[in-house]
Amino acid sequence: MQEEPRNKFMLGLEKINERLNRIQVLQDITSGLLNVLPLIIVGAIFGLITNLPIQGYQDFLVHVQLKETLALASQFTTNIVAIIACLSLTYVRVQRAHIDGLIPLLISLVTFLIITPLTVVKTVSYLSFDWLGAAGFFMAIIVGLSVGNAFVFMLAHHWVIKLPDAVPPMVSKSLSSVVPAVLITGCALLIRFAFSFTSFKTIHNVIYTLIQQPLTHMGSSIWAMLALTLISSLFWFIGIHGMLVVMPILLTVYLPMDLANLAAFNAGKPLPYITTIAFWIICCSIGGGGATLGLNFMMAFRAKSEQFKVMGRLALPAGIFGINEPLVYGIPLVFNAIFFLPYVFLPILNLGLGFLLVKIGILPAASGATILGMPIPIFFTGLMEGSWKLGVFQLVLALLDTLAYYPFFKIADGNALRAEQKAV
């Protein structure tokens, strides 16, 4: 009698997940922004190399005039991430329609630059980095997707110049996109002109003020991140990849905060945000979703049942690098009532403790250098964030998580051992 309601509940959640996965715009945003991460990692690594807090090392960089050169890696990755994201999103959209991406990318670049305000000093106009980084991130998403969709629509409806067959294919391919290029560029100019008459002056200001800032303010609340973590953990518990469910939110809402922190870190300024993706990784991904590294070690070295011992040792190498699917589906943790409390709520407790320690000044905020999917063991993740204190905090969390999992592990291991003895 109890099985049928649960099955209906599961089917309902699976249908919701399937519907979310079928929303193409969410897929495009996720894929497009994931493509940006390698360049953000490059900027983060060189940012750390440039800003290592060792006075002798800093004096050496200044003496050999290398500091400014190293800083260029961050300047032309992190600080122009809006342009990179815009191009990536356009590319993902047109590739999904099996259209060659070069010309749409060039149109997307021109469009973004047209609507980006110029800075005028005396008689010289130049493009500052103000809107090319984190501040222009949401505008980049809008432009990238809009240009991609517009280009696909125009080609699908044959809004192109048709040239005779005698024209070489290379020339024909290039000139056939003139109509979409003119129309999209014309729209960008019209938008620039129209918003110049408003109090905002530019569409960048509109998007940043009315969309990005409110979302950032909401996302900077620890309660929003705790709620997101709970949703992810609950989906994991019922066998649905929780990270994939929350990924669009993490990338669109929290990634700009990581980028703002990283830019501030590279500039030697105070970090503006606590609740970032990097902070979430430090606190919640101790061995993967559910903070299972402690459980993994106990299974590998303290288990009495053969099942837990073998599974723990097989899963440990991946678990050290934050990949715990072997445990999730091998024990399994999915729909395992014994592990429900620690598996779902430990990441939330870790997050709350981390936020409190940063808030009272014991820990520094995360610099934003670590990105989703980077296979870095605990402690080294903290070091990547610019502080040994964050690395030590991860080790402390691993110890606390181990203690929290211990009584549940003993019950599950004992059950497995008795089952094995009965089977003999």
Residues 202 and 226 placed together within one structural domain of the fold: no
The reply to whether 242 and 178 lie within a common domain is: no
According to DSSP, residue 280 is labeled H
- Among residues of the chain, what percentage have pLDDT more than 90? 46
Q: Stretch 194-220: mean pLDDT, rounded?
A: 90
- pLDDT at position 2: 45
Same domain for 42 and 167, yes or no, is: yes
**In the chain, what percentage of residues exceed pLDDT 70?**
92
Same structural domain, 395 and 267: yes
Structure tokens belonging to residue 161:
């110049």
Res 424: pLDDT: 67
Residue 11 lies in a domain: no
CA distances from 106 to 53, 88, 238, 316 (A): 40, 11, 44, 46
pLDDT in tens, 3-62: 454 556 556 656 666 666 667 888 888 889 888 888 888 888 888 888 877 888 888 988
Total tally of structural domains belonging to the chain? 2
Judge whether 65 lies within some domain: yes
Angle between helices 24-51 and 255-266 (to 10 degrees): 20
Domain boundary among 159, 174, 208: 208
Residue 374 vs residues 50, 264, 371: alpha-carbon distances, Å: 21, 22, 6
Q: Are residues 197 and 326 in the same domain?
A: no
Can you give the residue range of the structural domain that contains 133? 25-208
Of 45, 132, 60, 30, the residue nearest 367 (C-alpha): 45
Looking at the domain assignment, is residue 20 inside a domain?
A: no
Question: Is 214 part of a structural domain of the chain?
Answer: no
85 shares its domain with 134: yes
- List, for residues 251-269, the tens digit of each pLDDT value: 888 988 998 998 888 888 8
- Please write the tens of the pLDDT for every residue from 303-312: 999 999 999 9
The answer to which of 68-72, 238-242, 278-282 has the lowest mean pLDDT is 238-242
Tell me the mean pLDDT in the region 124-128: 84
Q: Please provide the average confidence, as pLDDT, over all residues in the chain.
A: 87
Note the pLDDT of residue 1: 41
Within this chain, do residues 194 and 246 fall inside the same structural domain, yes or no?
no
Q: Rounded to whole angstroms, how far apart are CA atoms 291 and 284?
A: 6
d(CA 386, CA 384): 5
Same domain, 97 and 179: yes
Please indicate, yes or no, if residue 217 is contained in any of the structural domains.
Answer: no
Contact 101, 95 (CB under 8 A): yes
Q: How confident is the model at residue 331 (pLDDT cuts 50, 70, 90)?
A: confident
Q: Are both 195 and 250 inside the same structural domain?
A: no
- Is residue 181 over pLDDT 90? yes
188/334 same-domain check: no
Q: Find out whether 251 and 30 touch, Cβ atoms under 8 Å.
A: yes
Q: How far is CA 241 from the centre of its chain?
A: 15
Within 196-274, where are the H helices? 203-207, 213-219, 222-237, 242-249, 255-266
The answer on 158 and 235 residing in a single domain is no
The residue out of 151, 174, 208 marking a domain boundary is 208
Angle, alpha carbons 130-105-215 (nearest 5°):
45
Rounded Cα distance, 283 and 354, in Å: 6
**Domain shared by 88 and 227, yes or no:** no
Rounded to 5°, angle at Cα 344 from 339 and 349: 115
